[in-house]
Each structure stands twice: as structure tokens, then as C-alpha cells.
Structure 1
Amino acid sequence: MRLLFALAVMVGPVFSSAALAQECPAPADVSAELEELFDQAQNAEDFREGQAASDAMWKVWLRAPDDAAQAVLDRGMAARGSFDFVEAYAQFTRLTEYCPDYAEGWNQRAYISFLREDYAAALTDLDRALELQPRHVAAQSGRGLTLMNLGRIAEARRQMLEAVGNNPWLSEKALLAKGAPLGLEGEDI
């Protein structure tokens, strides 16, 4: 009996991972919901309203396609929150393998790569996230920051302008100010 239990514990994750990869449903179409939130952000009259729209966007992005994906996302977020970037990266990799069409899995893995200063890997994952969800503001701003760290300032500026165009309440907007790293050409430090 103990041998069977030990075997099940060792082999179970292999089978469940393989089974999960075939069962992830397509992510819900959230484009109309996000479009409304972009409008709210762009028409917000103050920080409180703008932040409420931004927070609501995050709730949409962090809504995984099913309970299994949500559990993996939540474990990755918890690991990231405790600065266990190795475990967070492993969880987000599992999520991208299980749900390759879920943009937030790629965005979160990119963020871990960014924090680890692996900007090339971050950029690859951000590009995939944006293929899946072109107006994913967090991926857009993350891509702008990644490009900036790669020294690709003109591209970074364009990407950040696009992100801020979708959500003018992003804190990264400060990077576009006069004298800031992504400030308008001719106005850089």
C-alpha cells in the first residue's frame, strides 16, 4: 500500500500536468469589458476614478480560464509576493504550458524575468502576451520598461506612449515627463 501511495505521489504530477495541458479552456473574450474600463480610465476626472478603473483591469487580467489555472496563477503570485522568484517563474511557466493562450501567464512570467534582469526573456514573453491581448496595459508598460533597460529608448518611448494612451493613470507615465528617461526627444537629460 505504501509503495502504491509513493508511486502515486511521484507520478501523479506528471499525469496531472499532461492532463491539464489538454484541458485548459480558451480564455474568455474580455475585450468588451476591457474596452469599457479603458474608456473609464481615459474619462476619469481624478486619481480615485482612474485608480478604480486600473484596479478593475487587473481583476479582469487575473481571472484565469479555469480553477486549475487560477490555482497555478495564485501560487505564482504568492511566490512572487514572498520574493521566491525561482518558484514564481516555475509556476508561471507551468501556467503558460497549461494555458498558452492566456495572456496574463506570459505577462507574469515576463515580470519575473524582468525582476531577475533577464530582459531578453521578459521581452519574448511580453511580445507573446501582447499577441494574445494587444491592449494589455500592464504588458505594454512592462514592455516599455524592458526596452528602456535594453537601451532601446525610442522603442520604449513609443510603447509607453501606447500604454499611457490606453490608461493615463499608469505610474509609469512619469517616465515620459520632460527630463525623464523616456521624455520627448530633444528633452532628454
Structure 2
Amino acid sequence: MQQKRPAIRWFCRAGQLALAGVMAGVLMPAVGYAQAPPRSGPQSVPFESRDLPRPHAKLSEIPKDKVHGLDFLFGALKVAPDEDSARHVEAKILALWSRTSSDTTALLMQRAKVATQARRLDVAIKLLDAVLKLHPDYIEGWSQRATLYYMQNDYRRSLEDIEQVLIREPRHFGALAGLGMIMKELGDDRRALDAFRKALAIDPHLANVQELVKTLTEKVEGRDI
């Protein structure tokens, strides 16, 4: 159980800035997710051994100013001199992902946050369902719902939502880390390692991911002679 709690905090930060933060030591601390309900163990989930989804040009029409801002921030993230600087840049990226011009979306997201803090996960998911019905390209709606499904041990739905996040933003280091965490819990160490490496290529300061990559590399590929 102690080994899974960091994973929960990890995945929560992969969601949005308001609700959580990229996973224990990877993203900002999650609001109370460390005390998430007990998990009954990995759920068997069929998951095709294919490359991560590629973005479709028509799926996500992000304003150019936001795209340019993200491009700059991702560049800054790669060259951040230390962990504190990286955390600062991560927060700015998460803030951009969370930004919405819809008052309705913002209100629903806030209510989902409150419901999650109250451990009313089913209510929070229904609110996020409404968000995604109104705004299907809202990345953080998918990301947050993926987190909640993960907390419910519903890996299949969580993976489906992670795929939607990565279709819209392949650089979502939190979603990649979440994918790696689920693959690891399902015993697919090779795919877990692949996802973690992709996350690190985007954000080299994901400390916990660095440790997991080291451990999984030895397990999957063996020690260097």
C-alpha cells in the first residue's frame, strides 16, 4: 500500500493545476490524494502494444498565442538548471493547460475539485463528463477524469482518457507519467519504461521518474556489463 500512495499523488499532479498538481515529486502535491481509498489491486486491462497516439490536426485548435507560450515554456523546462526552476515552469505550463474562456467550464471544474476533495469521486466524474461534453478539446478535463478513474482502479477508462490527453497534447508529461504508472502496475514493464522515458525527454527534472527509469531499465534491459 505504501508503494502505491506515491503513484496516486504522482498521477494526481498529472491532472490540472487547480485540483492536483505532475505525481509525487513529479507534479505539485495533490489535495489529499495521499489518503485515497484503498486499492484492490491492478485491474486487468487489454492495451494494444502500439506507439503512443499522434495528434490529429483538427482535434485541438489551440490559440496561437497559447501554443507559442507553451513552446517557450517547454524549451525552458528542458534547460531548467535545477528542480525548483523546473517546478516553476511546470506550474506555468499547467496553468496554460487549465485556462479556459468558458465560465461554465471553469465553474464545473471548480465543483469537480470540491467533490474530489470531499471524496465524492462519482460526482466529480459526472461534472467532468459535462465539461467534456461542452468542451471536448479541454485537455485538463480529460486529464482530471483520467486521474479520478485511476483512483477508482478503473484502468481501462483511465487509459482511454490518457490517450485523449496525448492526442491533444503529446508533450503532457503528467499523462505520460500516468501511462507509465498504470503500465507498471499492470506488469507491462517495457511499455512503462517507454512512457517514462518519453516523459523524461520532455521534463528531465521528474525525479521519481528518473528512479523508475533506472530500476526498469535494469529489469527490462539488464545491467551494463
- Say yes or no: TM over 0.5: yes
- Provide the secondary structure at the position in 2 that maps to 1:165: helix
In 2: Cα distance, 1:169 partner to 1:73 partner: 28
- Provide the secondary structure at the position in 2 that maps to 1:179: helix
Amino acid aligned to 2:132: T
1:103 to 139, 145, 163: 139
2:86 to 42, 50, 56: 50
1:165 to 201, 204, 209: 201
| Structure 2 runs not aligned, ≥5 long | 1-60
Q: Go from structure 1 to structure 2 and tell me whether the alpha carbon gap of 1:176 and 1:90 turns closer, same or farther (over 3 Å shift).
A: same
In 2: Cα distance, 1:79 partner to 1:186 partner: 44
Contact 2:196 2:213 in 1 (8 A): no
TM-score, normalization: structure 2? 0.65
Q: Go from structure 1 to structure 2 and tell me whether the alpha carbon gap of 1:101 and 1:177 turns closer, same or farther (over 3 Å shift).
A: closer
Q: Go from structure 1 to structure 2 and tell me whether the alpha carbon gap of 1:177 and 1:141 turns closer, same or farther (over 3 Å shift).
A: closer
Partner of 2:170: 134
2:152 to 109, 116, 124: 116
Cα RMSD (Å) of the superposition? 2.3
Once the two structures are superposed, the pairs formed by residues 40-79 of structure 1 within 5 Å of their partners are 40-79=76-115
Amino acid aligned to 2:150: F
Structure 1 residue 174 displacement after superposition = 3.9
In 2: Cα distance, 1:180 partner to 1:52 partner: 28
TM-score, normalization: structure 1? 0.77
Larger Rg, first or second structure (1 or 2): 1
1:155 to 169, 187, 191: 191
Structure 1 residue 182 displacement after superposition = 8.4
Deviates more, 1:145-154 or 1:178-187: 178-187
Amino acid aligned to 1:121: R
Structure 1 residue 185 displacement after superposition = 2.4
In 2: Cα distance, 1:105 partner to 1:55 partner: 17
Q: Which protein is richer in helix relative to its size?
A: 1
Amino acid aligned to 2:172: H
Partner of 1:18: none
1:59-96 per-residue CA deviation (whole Å, 9 max, x = no partner) reads: 11111241111111121122223322111111111111
Structure 1 residue 124 displacement after superposition = 0.5
Same amino acid, percent of matched pairs: 25
Q: Go from structure 1 to structure 2 and tell me whether the alpha carbon gap of 1:61 and 1:171 turns closer, same or farther (over 3 Å shift).
A: farther
Q: Go from structure 1 to structure 2 and tell me whether the alpha carbon gap of 1:126 and 1:177 turns closer, same or farther (over 3 Å shift).
A: closer
Larger relative contact order, structure 1 or 2 (CA cutoff 8 Å, min sep 6) = 2
1:33 to 55, 65, 69: 69
Amino acid aligned to 1:35: D
In 2: Cα distance, 1:135 partner to 1:182 partner: 26
Amino acid aligned to 2:145: R
| Structure 1 runs not aligned, ≥5 long | 1-25
Q: Go from structure 1 to structure 2 and tell me whether the alpha carbon gap of 1:184 and 1:54 turns closer, same or farther (over 3 Å shift).
A: farther
